[in-house]
Amino acid sequence: MIERIVKMTFDDGNTDVFEKIFNEMKHKIANFEGCKSVKLLNDIHKKNIYFTYSVWENEKCLENYRHSELFKSTWEKTKQLFSEKPAAWSLIEKSNTQ
C-alpha cells in the first residue's frame, strides 16, 4: 500500500472554493482504480492549510491517477487557489519489527 499526503496552503478567501472542488471530486477519486480511500484534513490552527490523505494499492495505481484526466482537471482548478507551493509525500508503512 502507498499512503499519499499532500499539503496545500490557500489564500483565506479561497478555502471555500477548494472545499467545494474537493467535495465534488472526492467520490470520483475514491472510485478511481486502485484508490482505497481519500480524505481531507484541515490544520486546527491555520484554517487555510489542508492535507489530502489517500491510500493506494500500489505506486502504479497512484501514478495512473496522477496522469489521468480526472487528476489533471481537478489539479488545474485547485492550483490556481494556492498561496504557497504544495508539498507531497508518498509513503509506505514500515513494520515495527526488532
In order along its 98 residues, the chain shows pLDDT tens digits of: 999 999 999 998 999 999 999 999 999 999 999 999 999 999 999 999 999 999 999 999 999 999 999 999 999 999 999 999 999 999 999 876 55
Cell of 4: 499519499
Provide the CATH topology of domain 2-91.
Alpha-Beta Plaits (3.30.70)
Q: Which residues in 66-88 are b (16+ Cβ under 10 Å) and which e?
A: eeeeebeebeeebeebeeeebee
> What pTM did the predictor assign?
0.90
